Chains A and B, each alone.
Chain A
Amino acid sequence: MALEFEKPITDLETRIAELKTYGVTSAVDMTEEIALLEKRLERLRLETFSTLTRWQRVQLARAAGRPTALDYIANIFTDYQELHGDRAYGEDAAIVGGLARLEGRAVIVIGQQKGRDTKENIARNFGMAHPEGFRKAMRLMDMADKFGLPLITLVDTPGAYPGIAAEERGQAWLIAQSIQKMTRLRVPVICTVIGEGGSGGALAVAVGNRVLILENAVYSTISPESCAAIIWRDAKEAEKAAEAMKLTARDLEKFNIVDQVITEPKGGAHNDPEAAMQNLKTALLEHLAQLEGLDESALIRDRAARFRKLGVFEEISA
């Protein structure tokens, strides 16, 4: 389904497709018209996607049809063996993970998983984890650490689930513990925000030696809707909030919150998932190659140094 601002593009696409069919069935030569329209389509795409507002990026980050964590896992990795359960309370389908191979190299992969349709979204709680989800992630981190396997995480969540049971089971504590566990891992850790990086629920699996982000993904301390609800007392002001929050990949790059912005195919990852996945795979391999030269304590120091620098303030001269 097309987003509001994508509509002129999809309309044009439909017309071109119609013309092509007509050309075939009627044997009238439509080549020139089609070429003209395709040129116009190209220009329209370029215009639309080079002037995206931050709110439009948020919509792209959440777009139906955008590749999810399991899509990336299936495409980028081989031999994926999903491991379930947190060994304490239950299984949380909002976070997936297990063993896999990346170009033959065994790794642990953890992903925050949204549903690809309504039914799956309900089963996966729209990618919003409960404490048991974070506990499962921590169990997989321990496994990576124990067996010396690099850890790859894929971040895509509106946030940790804000529900009664989640709070009862210590949502704040599990997020804090997961962050802390990531600070201690003796293996390379590469985290990529593939869609929505929502607040503490995202950070809980995003404390890496490298933090990457897809071009149209967003990462923020609160969702634009919640920000708007607090400041303007109206969630409908989310568009304003998104602008103020500077939550796009390029914004984050400026503040060194992310190390690399991974290019998405024209029209966004959902328009050409294969290309998006290939770009991410290339980046993962590159960063992994750089990190595999570091020993255990150097990996921890590297990660600590990366986060130590984050923040903007000024020294008061005496």
Chain B
Amino acid sequence: MTLERFFRRRPPQQKEGTSDDLPDLWGKCPKCNAQVYNKELEQNLRVCPTCGYHHRMPVKKRLEGLVDAGTFEQTSGKIRATDPLEFVDTEPYTARLERSRKKTGREGAVVAGRATMGGLKVMLCVMDFEFNGGSMGSVEGEEITRSMELAASEHRALILVAASGGARMQEGALSLMQMAKTTFALEELASLRLPYITVLTDPTTGGVAASFAAIGDVVIAEPDALIGFAGQRVIQQTVRQNLPEGFQRSEFYEKKGFIDAVIDRREHREHLTQLIAMLTNQPRPEVTALVIQADPPKPPRGGLFGRRG
């Protein structure tokens, strides 16, 4: 047996032993089951080094990975959700909101702000799946609309990174109306010939997929992201048959002609910058390589082979 195979057979085990013995240094890739050193995963923009699986990306990390270092200036966060419907299901909507606020430290599922990319002025909207599944209510629709308006008035290209289960049920038809409100706001950008580029990440479905996310001048997607209008459970219940392999994934929609390109997250920075430069007819910018600070990987305490039993 080679040493390498021995390693593979006995990877460090996660969450075994006591917690102080094994902090969360290692994670497991849900796609290929490989043990991944978390710091290495972060340096790799949360793309599995073994199989390329794209783990969900926290908003802050996403922004770091995209914009020129230190240039992001947040414009969102000045409004907060109320509970216009006084919606109560298994718990009040207000309690759901409070939980999402605590979890994310945010008032809504959209983080927006100004930045530069390769020196080009941009506006970014990034949706946070951690806030109530990235669902779109009044606040989210308003943040996106304001960002579109701001981008137009400051002559910035707009990049929108979608991650959402769709319209937020707890705000009823008000959520639905955000689909139209945001779409109206795109007109001013279009008339100024400012690029609007959408990046679809896992998941982009429902009312978000069926409005502003779908109608970018360029629409790119991360690999293997779930995209579509209807949820898979609903489709299955409707058609009563198994869904085909790879159904509603990025690659599926690229093949069907609805997505311009499926692009690895590690290339977004370069790719998006060059797209904006060409669409706005500017000289080719130099995009500085991304450096994410992280310590070199260390094996977990307890030895390279981890603890057993």
Contact = CB atoms under 8 A, between A and B. Distances in A.
Interface string A228-264: 0011100000001100111100011001010000000
A162 B234 contact: yes
A244 B88 contact: yes
B177 A313 contact: no
Given A164-B239, A311-B141, A176 B215 contact: yes
B81 interface: yes
A311 B138 CA distance: 5
Contacts of B145: 308
B184 interface: yes
Nearest to A309: B181
A312 B93 CA distance: 14
Nearest to A175: B210
Interface residues of A, number: 59
A200 interface: yes
Contacts of B213: 172, 176
Interface string B245-271: 001100001001110000000000000
Given A164-B235, A175-B229, A316 B210 contact: no
Q: Choose among A175, A312, A314 the residue with the greatest number of B CB atoms under 10 Å from its CB.
A: A312
A168 B256 contact: yes
Q: Choose among B173, B231, B234 the residue with the greatest number of A CB atoms under 10 Å from its CB.
A: B173
Interface residues of B, number: 66
A103 interface: no
A170 B256 contact: yes
Contacts of B209: 172, 176
A203 B179 contact: yes
B173 A252 contact: yes
A179 B174 CA distance: 16
Interface string B136-178: 0111011001000000000000000000000111011111111
Nearest to B204: A172
B35 interface: no
Q: Is the interface of A mostly helix, strand, loop or mixed?
A: helix
A312 B205 CA distance: 23
Contacts of B309: none
A316 B80 contact: yes
Contacts of A232: 89-90
Contacts of A271: none
A172 B173 contact: no
A184 B186 CA distance: 11
Contacts of A303: 184
Interface string B226-242: 01111100110011010
B230 A219 contact: no
B238 A162 contact: yes
Given A175-B229, A255-B84, A221 B234 contact: no
A19 B62 CA distance: 76
A304 interface: yes
B134 interface: no
Interface in B117-142: 137-139, 141-142
Given A172-B214, A245-B169, A310-B181, A221 B82 contact: no
B229 A172 contact: yes
Contact of B172 (A168, A204, A245, A308): A245
B286 interface: no
Contacts of B175: 221
B228 to A, nearest CB: 5
A-B pairs, top 9 by smallest CB distance, nearest first, are A162-B230, A311-B138, A176-B214, A312-B84, A172-B209, A175-B210, A310-B177, A172-B229, A171-B229
Interface of B: 77-82, 84-85, 87-90, 107, 137-139, 141-142, 145, 167-169, 171-181, 183-187, 205-207, 209-215, 227-231, 234-235, 238-239, 241, 243-244, 247-248, 253, 256-258
28 contacts: A169-B256, A170-B257, A171-B229, A171-B230, A172-B210, A175-B211, A175-B214, A176-B210, A182-B180, A200-B207, A200-B210, A207-B183, A221-B172, A221-B173, A230-B169, A244-B89, A245-B172, A246-B172, A247-B173, A255-B84, A257-B173, A303-B184, A307-B180, A307-B184, A310-B138, A310-B174, A316-B77, A318-B78
Given A169-B256, A310-B178, 16 more contacts: A164-B247, A171-B210, A176-B212, A176-B213, A176-B214, A177-B215, A183-B183, A207-B180, A219-B176, A244-B89, A245-B172, A308-B145, A310-B138, A310-B174, A310-B180, A311-B174
